[in-house]
């Protein structure tokens, strides 16, 4: 491949991977069984897009490859209330990306939760881009990937290889910092937002160290852990964490740390949780004009919860409720009658969409979103920062967010 015997695109991909391997001191290339790839969601990074275009010229992927969501739901784009000029620009970008994915053989999953499309095994080597996707892969499944860039993930998809460094090596996967979750928090009653707050607080103290959580319930769901991944990685460069007695590489505290003592120990209690919630809430006005759930994409469990909270109620006429999920999850929710309940109440269950991108500029400006409510720390922070304060956010539990969509105002904590 490096000598060009498999074509120029494959050669470029292998050259890139060799450079990365040399930079990190990797001793060899290893096989990867899956890849997860992406293009930039806008035209802002055209030079970066050009690199990926060069990698995908006259080539097909060598291994099962899934992909990142699009900025908007292309099937329902005319229901979103966007101006025609914004729709035309978005459609142009999305159709261009979709055609490239189709041509090179990418599975059109368009989800930030691709983990259940192909089975992942402990110790399996993959090449996944996107921070929370890679982190959940390492942490929950015990599969091995670095947080790949868009170009290196595509190069691995084309070659089936990646340099062996970082989190592909066992010695780099042990915990370093112990996070004790206080027993008085009653973690068995944690909502998604509580897990977001925990991981956000942890990320701020980690930098690039791997956390080991002790004191979380043994019946914690992957839904909860994916929210932890999306929140912790926002503040930290660590590509994984462990939960004692839950995640596959942490059956015990000793195993999580590889037999060593933790370098530091921190306690997460009521004070720390309250501080994390406060950091996410940039809004002061109680009136809400948008509620956004599904970053990362909602699971069937979450959509079921939303439908139960909405059953027999109606969304306030001045509020939009947008829920992001994958196409296959929506199909199951439709069969179960959950879509009828949710959309009958006035919500929209959108697919193939990065729901966070959908409420950032220029879309938030076009929609006139001033105050939103969300269960996602990533949405809460990005909406405020990227809009330069024009969009503010309330952050809280699923129940609080759905109540806000019905009442038109925020009453959560």
Q: What is the pLDDT of residue 117?
A: 87
209 and 301 fall within a common domain:
no
The tokens for 227 are: 């929210």
250 in a structural domain: yes
User: 176 pLDDT exceeds 70?
Assistant: yes
Together in a domain, 160 and 219: no
First-to-last CA distance in the chain? 57
Tell which residue, 354, 330, 356, has the closest CA to residue 343.
Answer: 330
Say whether both 13 and 160 belong to one domain.
yes
Domain match, 205 and 290 both: no
Residue at 389 is within a domain: yes
Domain count, the chain: 3
User: Within this chain, do residues 99 and 199 fall inside the same structural domain, yes or no?
Assistant: no
Tell me the CATH number at 75.
3.30.499
On average, the pLDDT of the chain sits at: 94
pLDDT tens per residue, range 32-75: 999 999 987 666 666 667 778 888 888 999 999 999 999 899 99
221 and 150 in a common domain: no
> Strand pairing partners for 179?
213, 266
Mean pLDDT over 176-181 rounds to: 98
Question: Domain end: 140, 165, 190, which one?
Answer: 165
Q: Establish if 413 belongs to a structural domain.
A: no
Span of 50-64, 266-280, 333-347 with lowest mean pLDDT: 50-64
Distance CA 406, CA 82 (A): 22
Residue 329 C-beta-side C-alpha neighbours within 13 Å: 28
Is the domain of 94 the same as that of 24? yes
| Whether residues 45 and 101 fall in one domain | yes
**336 inside domain:** yes
Rounded Cα–Cα distance for residues 180 and 272 (Å): 12
Residue 79 lies in a domain: yes
Cα separation values, 162 from 24, 129, 172, Å:
12, 13, 16
More confident residue, 135 or 234: 135
* pLDDT score at 23: 98
Q: What are the structure tokens assigned to 153, written together?
A: 């993930």
Q: Domain boundary residue among 252, 278, 304?
A: 278
Nearest 5°: CA angle at 250, between 244 and 256?
A: 100
What is the model's pLDDT at position 199?
96
Does residue 238 belong to any structural domain of this protein?
Answer: yes
- Label residue 275 by pLDDT band (50, 70, 90): very high
Angle separating helix axes 222-235 and 377-386, nearest 10 degrees: 30
pLDDT at 30 over 70: yes
pLDDT score recorded for residue 168: 98
**Confidence category of residue 116, pLDDT binned at 50, 70, 90:** confident
Nearest to 244 by CA among 166, 181, 183: 181
pLDDT for the residue numbered 294: 96
Output the DSSP codes for 160-223.
SEEE--GGGSGGGSS--EEEEEPGGG-GGG--HHHHHHHHHHHHHHHTTPPEEEES--TT--HH
What is the structure's pLDDT at 413? 74
What distance in Å separates the CA atoms of residue 7 and residue 3, rounded to the nearest whole number? 9
What range does the domain containing 115 cover? 8-165
Q: With respect to residue 412, please indicate whether it lies within any of the assigned structural domains.
A: no
């Amino acid at each position: 491949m490096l000598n060009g015997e498999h074509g120029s695109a494959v050669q470029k991909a292998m050259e890139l991977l060799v450079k990365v391997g040399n930079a990190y001191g990797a001793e060899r290339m290893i096989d990867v069984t899956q890849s997860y790839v992406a293009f930039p969601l806008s035209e802002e990074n055209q030079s970066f897009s050009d690199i990926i275009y060069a990698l995908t010229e006259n080539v097909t992927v060598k291994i099962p490859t899934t992909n990142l969501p699009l900025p908007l739901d292309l099937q329902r784009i005319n229901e979103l209330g966007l101006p025609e000029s914004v729709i035309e620009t978005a459609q142009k970008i999305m159709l261009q990306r979709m055609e490239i994915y189709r041509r090179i053989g990418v599975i059109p999953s368009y989800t930030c939760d691709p983990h259940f499309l192909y089975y992942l095994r402990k110790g399996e080597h993959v090449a996944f881009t996107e921070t929370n996707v890679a982190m959940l892969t390492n942490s929950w499944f015990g599969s091995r990937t670095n947080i790949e860039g868009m170009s290196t993930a595509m190069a691995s998809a084309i070659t089936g290889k990646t340099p062996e460094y970082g989190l592909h090596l066992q010695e780099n996967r042990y915990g370093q910092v112990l996070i004790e979750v206080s027993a008085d928090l009653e973690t068995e009653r944690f909502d998604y937002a509580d897990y977001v707050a925990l991981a956000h607080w942890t990320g701020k103290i980690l930098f690039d160290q791997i956390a080991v959580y002790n004191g979380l319930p043994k019946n914690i769901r992957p839904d909860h852990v994916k929210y932890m991944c999306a929140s912790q990685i926002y503040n930290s460069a660590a590509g994984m964490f462990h939960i004692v007695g839950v995640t596959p590489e942490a059956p015990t505290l000793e195993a999580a740390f590889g037999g060593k003592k933790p370098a530091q120990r921190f306690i997460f209690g009521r004070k720390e949780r309250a501080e994390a919630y406060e950091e996410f809430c940039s809004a002061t006005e109680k009136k809400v004009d948008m509620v956004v759930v599904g970053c990362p994409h909602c699971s069937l469990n979450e959509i079921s919860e939303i439908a139960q909270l909405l059953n027999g109620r109606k969304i306030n006429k001045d509020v939009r409720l947008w829920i992001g999920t994958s196409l296959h999850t929506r199909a199951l929710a439709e069969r179960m009658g959950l879509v009828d309940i949710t959309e009958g109440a006035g919500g929209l269950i959108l697919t193939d969409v990065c729901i966070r991108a959908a409420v950032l500029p220029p879309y938030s400006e076009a929609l006139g979103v001033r105050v939103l409510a969300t269960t996602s720390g990533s949405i809460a922070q990005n909406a405020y920062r990227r809009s330069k304060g024009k969009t503010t956010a309330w952050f809280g539990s699923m129940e609080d967010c759905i109540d806000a969509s019905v009442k038109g105002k925020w009453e959560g904590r």
